[in-house]
Amino acid sequence: MGQEQIRRWESGALAHAVTDPFGQGPVPWLRGSETYFDDTGHVVPWYVDAPQQPPAGEPSNAPRVPAPRAAGGPRSADDVRRQIKGFISTGAVAPGEAVDFHITVDPPQEFSVDIYRIGHYGGDGAAKITTSPRLSGIVQPPPLAADRTVSCHHWWLSWRLQIPSYWSIGAYVAVLTTVDGYRSHIPFTVRDNHPADLLLLLPDVTWQAYNLYPEDGRTGASLYHAWDEQGRLLGESDAATTVSFDRPYAGAGLPLHVGHGYDFIRWAERYGYDLAYADARDLHAGHVDPTRYRGLVFPGHDEYWSANMRRTVELAREQGTSLVFLSANTMYWQVELGPSPSGVPDRLLTCRKRKGPGRPVLWREIDRPEQQLVGIQYAGRVPDPHPLIVRNADHWLWEATGAHEGDEIEGLVAGEADRYFPRTPLPEHEERILLAHSPYTDSEGAVRHQETSLYRAPSGALVFASGTFAWSPSLDRPGHVDTRVQRATANLLDRICKRD
Protein backbone atom coordinates (compact mmCIF):
# COMPACT_ATOMS: atom_id res chain seq x y z
CA MET A 1 0.00 0.00 0.00
CA GLY A 2 1.18 3.49 -0.71
CA GLN A 3 1.28 6.14 1.98
CA GLU A 4 -1.79 7.81 0.48
CA GLN A 5 -3.80 4.76 1.59
CA ILE A 6 -2.57 4.67 5.16
CA ARG A 7 -2.98 8.28 6.20
CA ARG A 8 -5.77 7.60 8.65
CA TRP A 9 -6.38 8.46 12.26
CA GLU A 10 -8.53 5.96 14.13
CA SER A 11 -6.95 2.81 15.34
CA GLY A 12 -8.05 0.00 13.11
CA ALA A 13 -10.13 2.09 10.71
CA LEU A 14 -8.51 1.20 7.40
CA ALA A 15 -11.03 -0.94 5.63
CA HIS A 16 -10.70 -0.61 1.88
CA ALA A 17 -13.87 1.49 1.93
CA VAL A 18 -15.90 -1.36 3.42
CA THR A 19 -18.54 -0.12 5.85
CA ASP A 20 -19.33 -1.75 9.15
CA PRO A 21 -22.58 -3.60 9.94
CA PHE A 22 -24.28 -0.58 11.51
CA GLY A 23 -23.34 2.09 9.00
CA GLN A 24 -20.97 4.03 11.24
CA GLY A 25 -17.99 4.04 8.90
CA PRO A 26 -15.13 1.63 8.20
CA VAL A 27 -14.52 -1.62 9.98
CA PRO A 28 -10.88 -2.72 10.12
CA TRP A 29 -9.58 -5.29 7.70
CA LEU A 30 -6.06 -5.55 6.38
CA ARG A 31 -3.29 -3.11 7.04
CA GLY A 32 -0.27 -2.46 4.91
CA SER A 33 3.13 -2.26 6.47
CA GLU A 34 2.59 -1.73 10.16
CA THR A 35 4.90 1.27 10.19
CA TYR A 36 6.60 3.67 7.86
CA PHE A 37 9.12 6.42 8.50
CA ASP A 38 8.31 10.11 8.28
CA ASP A 39 10.67 12.76 6.98
CA THR A 40 12.39 13.06 10.35
CA GLY A 41 13.15 9.35 10.52
CA HIS A 42 10.64 8.64 13.27
CA VAL A 43 8.49 5.55 13.10
CA VAL A 44 4.82 6.32 12.46
CA PRO A 45 2.08 3.64 12.54
CA TRP A 46 -0.05 3.04 9.49
CA TYR A 47 -3.12 4.76 10.93
CA VAL A 48 -1.51 8.17 11.54
CA ASP A 49 -1.91 11.06 9.13
CA ALA A 50 1.26 12.06 7.32
CA PRO A 51 2.94 15.14 8.83
CA GLN A 52 1.46 18.44 7.73
CA GLN A 53 2.88 21.93 7.85
CA PRO A 54 1.87 23.58 11.15
CA PRO A 55 -0.42 26.59 11.01
CA ALA A 56 1.25 30.00 11.12
CA GLY A 57 2.45 30.80 14.62
CA GLU A 58 2.37 27.19 15.83
CA PRO A 59 5.77 25.64 16.67
CA SER A 60 6.93 22.96 14.29
CA ASN A 61 7.31 20.43 17.11
CA ALA A 62 3.70 20.75 18.29
CA PRO A 63 1.92 17.40 18.67
CA ARG A 64 0.12 16.17 15.57
CA VAL A 65 -3.60 15.80 16.19
CA PRO A 66 -6.33 14.26 14.05
CA ALA A 67 -7.74 16.45 11.31
CA PRO A 68 -11.46 17.23 11.63
CA ARG A 69 -13.71 14.66 10.00
CA ALA A 70 -15.77 15.64 7.00
CA ALA A 71 -19.09 17.29 7.81
CA GLY A 72 -22.40 15.53 7.18
CA GLY A 73 -23.89 12.52 8.94
CA PRO A 74 -22.69 11.11 12.23
CA ARG A 75 -19.23 12.32 13.15
CA SER A 76 -16.62 10.03 14.64
CA ALA A 77 -15.34 11.06 18.05
CA ASP A 78 -11.57 11.36 18.47
CA ASP A 79 -9.14 11.00 21.36
CA VAL A 80 -8.07 14.67 21.49
CA ARG A 81 -11.45 16.34 21.86
CA ARG A 82 -13.08 13.24 23.46
CA GLN A 83 -16.55 14.21 22.22
CA ILE A 84 -17.74 10.80 23.44
CA LYS A 85 -15.57 7.87 24.46
CA GLY A 86 -16.15 4.89 26.70
CA PHE A 87 -15.27 1.40 27.87
CA ILE A 88 -16.83 -1.38 29.91
CA SER A 89 -15.30 -2.39 33.23
CA THR A 90 -16.59 -5.95 32.88
CA GLY A 91 -15.38 -8.65 30.52
CA ALA A 92 -17.73 -11.00 28.71
CA VAL A 93 -21.02 -11.37 30.58
CA ALA A 94 -23.78 -13.95 30.78
CA PRO A 95 -27.52 -13.29 30.43
CA GLY A 96 -28.72 -12.06 33.80
CA GLU A 97 -25.44 -10.26 34.52
CA ALA A 98 -24.68 -6.57 34.04
CA VAL A 99 -22.40 -4.57 31.75
CA ASP A 100 -20.97 -1.41 33.35
CA PHE A 101 -20.30 1.46 30.95
CA HIS A 102 -17.89 4.30 31.80
CA ILE A 103 -18.30 7.16 29.33
CA THR A 104 -16.95 10.69 28.97
CA VAL A 105 -18.81 13.37 26.99
CA ASP A 106 -17.27 16.74 26.07
CA PRO A 107 -18.97 19.19 26.11
CA PRO A 108 -21.38 17.73 28.68
CA GLN A 109 -24.68 16.83 27.06
CA GLU A 110 -27.17 14.03 26.79
CA PHE A 111 -26.31 10.88 24.86
CA SER A 112 -27.81 7.49 24.07
CA VAL A 113 -26.46 3.97 23.63
CA ASP A 114 -27.75 1.70 20.87
CA ILE A 115 -26.93 -1.98 21.36
CA TYR A 116 -26.37 -4.09 18.24
CA ARG A 117 -25.78 -7.81 17.92
CA ILE A 118 -23.51 -8.99 15.12
CA GLY A 119 -25.04 -11.65 12.87
CA HIS A 120 -26.36 -12.33 9.40
CA TYR A 121 -29.84 -10.79 9.84
CA GLY A 122 -30.86 -11.04 6.20
CA GLY A 123 -27.59 -9.54 5.06
CA ASP A 124 -27.69 -6.48 7.33
CA GLY A 125 -24.76 -7.77 9.38
CA ALA A 126 -26.23 -6.68 12.71
CA ALA A 127 -29.53 -6.03 14.42
CA LYS A 128 -30.41 -3.33 16.93
CA ILE A 129 -31.42 -5.05 20.14
CA THR A 130 -32.21 -2.13 22.44
CA THR A 131 -31.58 1.56 23.10
CA SER A 132 -30.72 3.12 26.43
CA PRO A 133 -32.76 5.90 28.01
CA ARG A 134 -31.45 9.37 27.30
CA LEU A 135 -28.40 9.63 29.60
CA SER A 136 -26.64 12.66 31.07
CA GLY A 137 -23.04 12.89 29.93
CA ILE A 138 -20.21 14.36 32.00
CA VAL A 139 -16.57 15.15 31.31
CA GLN A 140 -14.65 12.40 33.05
CA PRO A 141 -11.16 13.06 34.47
CA PRO A 142 -8.18 12.78 32.14
CA PRO A 143 -6.64 9.32 31.82
CA LEU A 144 -4.02 8.38 34.41
CA ALA A 145 -0.60 7.34 33.16
CA ALA A 146 2.24 5.61 35.00
CA ASP A 147 5.26 4.12 33.21
CA ARG A 148 3.38 4.33 29.89
CA THR A 149 0.39 2.44 31.30
CA VAL A 150 -2.77 4.45 30.62
CA SER A 151 -5.90 3.75 32.65
CA CYS A 152 -9.36 5.27 33.11
CA HIS A 153 -10.35 3.02 36.00
CA HIS A 154 -11.21 6.15 38.01
CA TRP A 155 -14.05 7.17 35.65
CA TRP A 156 -17.52 7.27 37.18
CA LEU A 157 -20.09 4.67 36.19
CA SER A 158 -22.31 6.12 33.44
CA TRP A 159 -24.81 3.32 32.76
CA ARG A 160 -25.43 -0.25 33.87
CA LEU A 161 -27.03 -2.53 31.32
CA GLN A 162 -28.65 -5.60 32.81
CA ILE A 163 -28.55 -8.34 30.17
CA PRO A 164 -32.00 -9.96 29.99
CA SER A 165 -32.12 -13.72 30.30
CA TYR A 166 -33.71 -14.01 26.84
CA TRP A 167 -30.90 -12.22 24.96
CA SER A 168 -28.96 -14.35 22.52
CA ILE A 169 -25.32 -14.98 23.27
CA GLY A 170 -22.99 -13.39 20.75
CA ALA A 171 -20.78 -10.46 19.78
CA TYR A 172 -22.32 -7.07 20.56
CA VAL A 173 -21.42 -3.47 19.85
CA ALA A 174 -22.62 -0.47 21.86
CA VAL A 175 -22.91 2.62 19.64
CA LEU A 176 -22.62 5.82 21.70
CA THR A 177 -24.16 8.95 20.17
CA THR A 178 -24.27 12.49 21.56
CA VAL A 179 -27.09 14.95 20.95
CA ASP A 180 -24.83 16.92 18.60
CA GLY A 181 -24.08 13.84 16.53
CA TYR A 182 -20.69 12.51 17.64
CA ARG A 183 -20.36 8.77 17.81
CA SER A 184 -18.12 6.08 19.24
CA HIS A 185 -18.26 2.33 19.87
CA ILE A 186 -17.68 -0.26 22.58
CA PRO A 187 -17.56 -3.98 21.66
CA PHE A 188 -18.53 -6.63 24.21
CA THR A 189 -19.45 -10.31 24.37
CA VAL A 190 -22.44 -12.10 25.86
CA ARG A 191 -21.64 -15.73 26.69
CA ASP A 192 -23.11 -18.61 28.63
CA ASN A 193 -22.34 -22.26 29.19
CA HIS A 194 -24.99 -23.79 26.96
CA PRO A 195 -23.84 -26.71 24.77
CA ALA A 196 -22.82 -25.88 21.20
CA ASP A 197 -20.81 -27.44 18.40
CA LEU A 198 -18.29 -24.60 18.10
CA LEU A 199 -16.86 -22.09 20.57
CA LEU A 200 -15.89 -18.79 18.93
CA LEU A 201 -13.09 -16.99 20.78
CA LEU A 202 -12.76 -13.25 20.16
CA PRO A 203 -9.14 -12.05 20.60
CA ASP A 204 -9.67 -9.26 23.12
CA VAL A 205 -6.14 -9.70 24.52
CA THR A 206 -4.59 -8.95 21.13
CA TRP A 207 -7.07 -6.10 20.56
CA GLN A 208 -5.84 -4.43 23.73
CA ALA A 209 -2.16 -4.95 22.88
CA TYR A 210 -2.62 -2.77 19.78
CA ASN A 211 -4.79 -0.12 21.48
CA LEU A 212 -3.00 3.25 21.41
CA TYR A 213 -5.69 5.11 23.36
CA PRO A 214 -5.54 8.01 23.65
CA GLU A 215 -4.23 8.91 20.20
CA ASP A 216 -3.54 12.45 21.36
CA GLY A 217 0.14 13.05 20.62
CA ARG A 218 0.93 13.01 24.35
CA THR A 219 -0.39 10.28 26.60
CA GLY A 220 -1.46 7.21 24.65
CA ALA A 221 0.55 4.02 24.56
CA SER A 222 0.19 0.46 23.30
CA LEU A 223 2.58 -2.45 23.31
CA TYR A 224 3.88 -1.00 20.01
CA HIS A 225 3.96 2.79 20.35
CA ALA A 226 4.04 5.79 22.69
CA TRP A 227 4.61 9.54 22.27
CA ASP A 228 7.60 11.64 23.21
CA GLU A 229 7.45 15.16 24.69
CA GLN A 230 7.42 16.70 21.21
CA GLY A 231 4.40 14.66 20.13
CA ARG A 232 6.42 12.30 17.97
CA LEU A 233 5.41 8.66 17.90
CA LEU A 234 7.98 6.30 19.35
CA GLY A 235 8.55 2.69 18.39
CA GLU A 236 8.36 -0.61 20.23
CA SER A 237 11.46 -0.11 22.39
CA ASP A 238 9.78 2.91 24.05
CA ALA A 239 6.23 1.54 24.14
CA ALA A 240 4.27 0.34 27.15
CA THR A 241 5.04 -3.01 28.73
CA THR A 242 1.67 -3.06 30.52
CA VAL A 243 -1.64 -1.85 29.08
CA SER A 244 -5.03 -1.60 30.77
CA PHE A 245 -8.44 -2.85 29.69
CA ASP A 246 -9.89 0.06 31.71
CA ARG A 247 -9.84 2.53 28.80
CA PRO A 248 -11.63 3.07 25.50
CA TYR A 249 -10.30 1.78 22.21
CA ALA A 250 -8.61 4.50 20.18
CA GLY A 251 -10.32 6.46 17.46
CA ALA A 252 -13.87 5.33 16.77
CA GLY A 253 -13.72 2.75 19.55
CA LEU A 254 -13.38 -0.38 17.44
CA PRO A 255 -10.25 -2.52 17.92
CA LEU A 256 -7.81 -3.28 15.16
CA HIS A 257 -9.04 -6.25 13.07
CA VAL A 258 -12.32 -6.56 14.97
CA GLY A 259 -13.93 -7.03 11.56
CA HIS A 260 -12.31 -10.45 11.09
CA GLY A 261 -14.43 -11.90 13.88
CA TYR A 262 -17.53 -10.16 12.57
CA ASP A 263 -16.95 -11.55 9.05
CA PHE A 264 -16.84 -15.11 10.38
CA ILE A 265 -19.86 -14.59 12.64
CA ARG A 266 -22.05 -13.26 9.82
CA TRP A 267 -21.11 -16.16 7.57
CA ALA A 268 -21.42 -18.88 10.24
CA GLU A 269 -24.80 -17.65 11.49
CA ARG A 270 -26.08 -17.38 7.92
CA TYR A 271 -25.39 -21.08 7.40
CA GLY A 272 -26.71 -22.16 10.77
CA TYR A 273 -23.61 -23.27 12.62
CA ASP A 274 -24.21 -23.83 16.32
CA LEU A 275 -21.96 -21.27 18.03
CA ALA A 276 -21.07 -20.39 21.57
CA TYR A 277 -19.10 -17.21 22.27
CA ALA A 278 -16.30 -16.17 24.62
CA ASP A 279 -13.30 -13.83 24.82
CA ALA A 280 -9.64 -14.80 25.06
CA ARG A 281 -9.67 -13.70 28.70
CA ASP A 282 -12.40 -16.25 29.39
CA LEU A 283 -10.04 -18.91 28.09
CA HIS A 284 -7.28 -17.57 30.34
CA ALA A 285 -9.46 -17.38 33.46
CA GLY A 286 -11.14 -20.76 33.08
CA HIS A 287 -14.61 -19.30 32.52
CA VAL A 288 -15.23 -21.74 29.67
CA ASP A 289 -14.52 -25.46 29.35
CA PRO A 290 -13.36 -25.91 25.74
CA THR A 291 -13.53 -29.70 25.97
CA ARG A 292 -17.33 -29.38 25.88
CA TYR A 293 -17.19 -28.29 22.22
CA ARG A 294 -16.38 -30.13 19.04
CA GLY A 295 -14.20 -27.27 17.90
CA LEU A 296 -12.68 -23.94 18.93
CA VAL A 297 -12.65 -21.20 16.28
CA PHE A 298 -10.11 -18.36 16.42
CA PRO A 299 -11.48 -16.06 13.71
CA GLY A 300 -9.04 -13.12 13.78
CA HIS A 301 -5.55 -11.94 14.52
CA ASP A 302 -4.72 -13.63 17.86
CA GLU A 303 -1.07 -12.83 18.52
CA TYR A 304 -0.87 -12.53 22.35
CA TRP A 305 -1.42 -15.63 24.51
CA SER A 306 -0.99 -16.29 28.20
CA ALA A 307 0.37 -19.60 29.49
CA ASN A 308 -3.13 -20.43 30.76
CA MET A 309 -4.62 -19.87 27.31
CA ARG A 310 -2.10 -22.16 25.65
CA ARG A 311 -2.36 -24.86 28.31
CA THR A 312 -6.15 -24.87 28.11
CA VAL A 313 -6.19 -25.15 24.32
CA GLU A 314 -3.55 -27.91 24.31
CA LEU A 315 -5.59 -29.89 26.82
CA ALA A 316 -8.70 -29.41 24.70
CA ARG A 317 -6.86 -30.75 21.63
CA GLU A 318 -5.69 -33.76 23.64
CA GLN A 319 -9.32 -34.42 24.63
CA GLY A 320 -10.45 -34.41 20.98
CA THR A 321 -11.56 -30.79 20.52
CA SER A 322 -10.60 -29.50 17.06
CA LEU A 323 -8.93 -26.12 16.55
CA VAL A 324 -9.55 -23.68 13.69
CA PHE A 325 -7.12 -20.77 13.26
CA LEU A 326 -8.44 -18.47 10.53
CA SER A 327 -5.71 -15.83 10.65
CA ALA A 328 -1.90 -15.71 10.88
CA ASN A 329 0.75 -14.83 13.48
CA THR A 330 -1.17 -16.71 16.16
CA MET A 331 0.25 -17.18 19.67
CA TYR A 332 3.46 -15.26 18.93
CA TRP A 333 4.02 -13.38 22.22
CA GLN A 334 3.59 -14.80 25.72
CA VAL A 335 1.74 -12.41 28.06
CA GLU A 336 0.61 -12.15 31.65
CA LEU A 337 -2.78 -10.92 32.84
CA GLY A 338 -3.03 -9.25 36.23
CA PRO A 339 -5.55 -7.43 38.44
CA SER A 340 -6.30 -3.72 38.32
CA PRO A 341 -5.17 -1.50 41.23
CA SER A 342 -8.55 -2.13 42.84
CA GLY A 343 -8.13 -5.89 42.56
CA VAL A 344 -10.42 -6.67 39.62
CA PRO A 345 -8.81 -9.69 37.91
CA ASP A 346 -7.45 -9.69 34.35
CA ARG A 347 -7.61 -5.92 33.76
CA LEU A 348 -3.86 -5.42 33.08
CA LEU A 349 -1.97 -7.01 30.19
CA THR A 350 1.82 -7.25 30.41
CA CYS A 351 4.30 -8.21 27.71
CA ARG A 352 7.88 -7.16 28.33
CA LYS A 353 8.97 -8.11 24.79
CA ARG A 354 12.70 -7.45 24.40
CA LYS A 355 13.09 -4.78 27.07
CA GLY A 356 15.97 -5.45 29.48
CA PRO A 357 17.41 -8.71 30.76
CA GLY A 358 15.25 -11.63 31.70
CA ARG A 359 13.26 -14.45 30.20
CA PRO A 360 12.36 -14.08 26.50
CA VAL A 361 8.66 -13.79 25.77
CA LEU A 362 8.45 -15.12 22.23
CA TRP A 363 7.01 -18.62 22.54
CA ARG A 364 9.53 -19.90 20.02
CA GLU A 365 12.39 -18.48 22.10
CA ILE A 366 11.43 -20.43 25.22
CA ASP A 367 11.51 -23.70 23.28
CA ARG A 368 7.75 -23.79 22.84
CA PRO A 369 7.32 -22.68 19.22
CA GLU A 370 3.79 -21.99 18.13
CA GLN A 371 4.13 -24.56 15.34
CA GLN A 372 3.85 -27.28 18.01
CA LEU A 373 0.20 -26.31 18.47
CA VAL A 374 -0.83 -24.50 15.28
CA GLY A 375 1.05 -26.69 12.79
CA ILE A 376 2.73 -23.70 11.10
CA GLN A 377 3.99 -20.42 12.48
CA TYR A 378 4.55 -16.74 11.71
CA ALA A 379 6.90 -16.02 8.81
CA GLY A 380 6.49 -12.28 8.20
CA ARG A 381 4.44 -9.40 6.83
CA VAL A 382 2.97 -9.36 3.34
CA PRO A 383 3.27 -5.76 2.04
CA ASP A 384 0.88 -6.29 -0.90
CA PRO A 385 -1.79 -8.97 -1.36
CA HIS A 386 -0.72 -12.05 -3.32
CA PRO A 387 -2.69 -15.06 -4.56
CA LEU A 388 -3.00 -18.20 -2.46
CA ILE A 389 -1.80 -21.19 -4.54
CA VAL A 390 -3.89 -24.34 -3.98
CA ARG A 391 -1.92 -27.46 -3.08
CA ASN A 392 -3.18 -31.05 -2.66
CA ALA A 393 -6.43 -30.15 -4.40
CA ASP A 394 -7.71 -33.73 -4.14
CA HIS A 395 -7.96 -33.38 -0.34
CA TRP A 396 -11.45 -33.30 1.17
CA LEU A 397 -11.00 -29.68 2.30
CA TRP A 398 -11.03 -28.55 -1.35
CA GLU A 399 -13.89 -30.90 -2.30
CA ALA A 400 -16.65 -29.20 -4.35
CA THR A 401 -14.81 -25.89 -4.24
CA GLY A 402 -13.89 -26.04 -7.91
CA ALA A 403 -10.25 -25.50 -6.96
CA HIS A 404 -7.60 -27.43 -8.89
CA GLU A 405 -3.95 -28.05 -8.20
CA GLY A 406 -2.01 -24.83 -8.65
CA ASP A 407 -5.09 -22.59 -8.89
CA GLU A 408 -4.66 -19.04 -7.65
CA ILE A 409 -7.12 -17.49 -5.20
CA GLU A 410 -6.46 -13.82 -5.78
CA GLY A 411 -5.52 -11.59 -2.85
CA LEU A 412 -5.87 -14.30 -0.21
CA VAL A 413 -2.29 -14.03 1.06
CA ALA A 414 -2.28 -10.63 2.74
CA GLY A 415 -1.42 -8.77 5.92
CA GLU A 416 0.79 -11.41 7.51
CA ALA A 417 1.69 -14.98 6.61
CA ASP A 418 2.59 -18.27 8.31
CA ARG A 419 4.51 -21.25 6.93
CA TYR A 420 5.97 -24.58 7.97
CA PHE A 421 9.44 -24.32 9.56
CA PRO A 422 11.31 -27.59 8.76
CA ARG A 423 13.76 -27.22 11.66
CA THR A 424 11.01 -26.61 14.21
CA PRO A 425 9.31 -29.61 15.87
CA LEU A 426 5.86 -30.51 14.68
CA PRO A 427 2.99 -31.47 17.01
CA GLU A 428 2.23 -35.14 17.45
CA HIS A 429 -0.03 -36.12 14.57
CA GLU A 430 -1.67 -39.08 12.88
CA GLU A 431 -1.70 -37.31 9.52
CA ARG A 432 -0.66 -33.91 8.25
CA ILE A 433 -0.97 -32.01 4.98
CA LEU A 434 -0.20 -28.59 3.51
CA LEU A 435 -3.12 -27.24 1.48
CA ALA A 436 -1.50 -24.13 0.01
CA HIS A 437 2.02 -23.05 -0.88
CA SER A 438 2.04 -19.42 -2.00
CA PRO A 439 5.05 -17.29 -2.96
CA TYR A 440 5.00 -13.60 -2.04
CA THR A 441 7.48 -10.74 -1.95
CA ASP A 442 8.36 -9.20 1.40
CA SER A 443 9.07 -5.54 2.12
CA GLU A 444 12.75 -5.99 1.19
CA GLY A 445 12.00 -7.62 -2.16
CA ALA A 446 12.87 -11.17 -1.06
CA VAL A 447 10.65 -14.02 -2.24
CA ARG A 448 9.06 -15.90 0.64
CA HIS A 449 6.11 -18.26 0.89
CA GLN A 450 2.91 -18.81 2.84
CA GLU A 451 1.36 -22.16 3.69
CA THR A 452 -2.02 -23.43 4.88
CA SER A 453 -1.90 -26.42 7.21
CA LEU A 454 -4.13 -29.20 8.52
CA TYR A 455 -3.19 -32.05 10.86
CA ARG A 456 -5.01 -34.68 12.88
CA ALA A 457 -3.86 -35.06 16.48
CA PRO A 458 -3.66 -38.54 18.11
CA SER A 459 -6.93 -37.71 19.90
CA GLY A 460 -8.68 -37.33 16.53
CA ALA A 461 -8.86 -33.53 16.79
CA LEU A 462 -8.35 -31.62 13.55
CA VAL A 463 -6.13 -28.53 13.68
CA PHE A 464 -6.45 -26.12 10.75
CA ALA A 465 -4.42 -22.96 10.20
CA SER A 466 -5.13 -20.67 7.25
CA GLY A 467 -1.74 -18.94 7.47
CA THR A 468 -3.06 -15.58 6.26
CA PHE A 469 -5.01 -12.57 7.52
CA ALA A 470 -7.36 -12.64 4.52
CA TRP A 471 -9.23 -15.90 5.16
CA SER A 472 -12.07 -14.59 7.40
CA PRO A 473 -12.78 -11.50 5.23
CA SER A 474 -13.18 -13.83 2.22
CA LEU A 475 -16.13 -15.48 3.99
CA ASP A 476 -18.45 -12.46 4.17
CA ARG A 477 -16.64 -9.15 3.49
CA PRO A 478 -18.21 -7.29 0.54
CA GLY A 479 -15.64 -7.07 -2.21
CA HIS A 480 -13.55 -9.90 -0.77
CA VAL A 481 -15.90 -12.92 -0.76
CA ASP A 482 -14.55 -16.05 -2.43
CA THR A 483 -16.87 -19.02 -2.84
CA ARG A 484 -13.95 -21.49 -2.84
CA VAL A 485 -12.88 -20.33 0.60
CA GLN A 486 -16.46 -20.38 1.83
CA ARG A 487 -16.90 -23.98 0.69
CA ALA A 488 -13.51 -25.10 2.04
CA THR A 489 -14.35 -23.59 5.44
CA ALA A 490 -17.75 -25.33 5.39
CA ASN A 491 -16.07 -28.65 4.53
CA LEU A 492 -13.82 -28.22 7.55
CA LEU A 493 -16.50 -27.15 10.01
CA ASP A 494 -18.97 -29.78 8.78
CA ARG A 495 -16.40 -32.49 9.42
CA ILE A 496 -15.63 -31.10 12.87
CA CYS A 497 -19.33 -30.83 13.69
CA LYS A 498 -19.93 -34.24 12.08
CA ARG A 499 -22.68 -32.97 9.82
CA ASP A 500 -23.97 -35.38 7.17
Tens-place pLDDT, residues 11-30: 233 322 223 333 333 333 22
Which CB contacts under 8 angstroms, 24+ apart, belong to 269-274? 269/119, 269/120, 270/120, 270/476, 271/490, 273/197, 273/198, 273/493, 273/497, 274/196, 274/197, 274/198, 274/497
Closest to 25 (Cα-Cα) out of 254, 289, 193:
254
Determine contact, residues 129/175, Cβ cutoff 8 Å.
Answer: no
Q: Which comes out higher in pLDDT, residue 10 or 383?
A: 383
Strand partners, 103: 86
Q: At what angle do helices 483-497 and 258-270 cross, to 10 degrees?
A: 70
* In a domain? residue 469: yes
393-446 pLDDT per residue, tens: 999 999 999 999 999 999 999 989 999 999 999 999 999 999 999 999 998 999
For 400, the domain range is 289-332+370-497
Angle at the Cα of 293 from the Cα atoms of 287 and 296, rounded to 5 degrees: 80
56-73 b/e with 16+ CB inside 10 Å = b?
Answer: eeeeeeeebbbeebeeee
Q: Is 21 helix (H, G, I), strand (E, B) or coil?
A: coil
Q: What is the DSSP letter of 19?
A: B
Count of domains for the chain: 1
The reported pLDDT for the residue numbered 355 is 73
Dmax over CA atoms of the chain, in Å, equals 72
- Is residue 264 included in any domain, yes or no? no
What is d(CA 320, CA 461) in angstroms, rounded to the nearest whole number? 5
- Mean pLDDT, rounded, for 51-55: 43
Distances, alpha carbon 147 to alpha carbons 139, 154, 200, 374, in Å: 25, 17, 34, 34
The answer to whether residue 123 is domain-embedded is no
Residue 372's H or E segment, with its range, is helix 371-374
Residue 490 lies in a domain: yes
In a domain, 157, yes or no: no
Beta strands 233-234; 226-227: pairing state: antiparallel
Q: How confident is the model at residue 354 (pLDDT cuts 50, 70, 90)?
A: confident
On whether the CB atoms of residues 76 and 175 are closer than 8 A, the answer is no
Residue 148 within a domain = no
Sheet holding 98-105, edge to edge: 84-88, 98-105, 159-162
Neighbours of 434 (CB within 10 A): 18
Looking at residue 50, what is its pLDDT? 35
Of the ranges 16-25, 251-260, 379-388, 458-467, which is most confident?
A: 458-467
- The rounded distance, in Å, linking the Cα atoms of 12 and 44 is 14
Does 408 map to a domain? yes
Q: Is residue 404 part of a domain?
A: yes
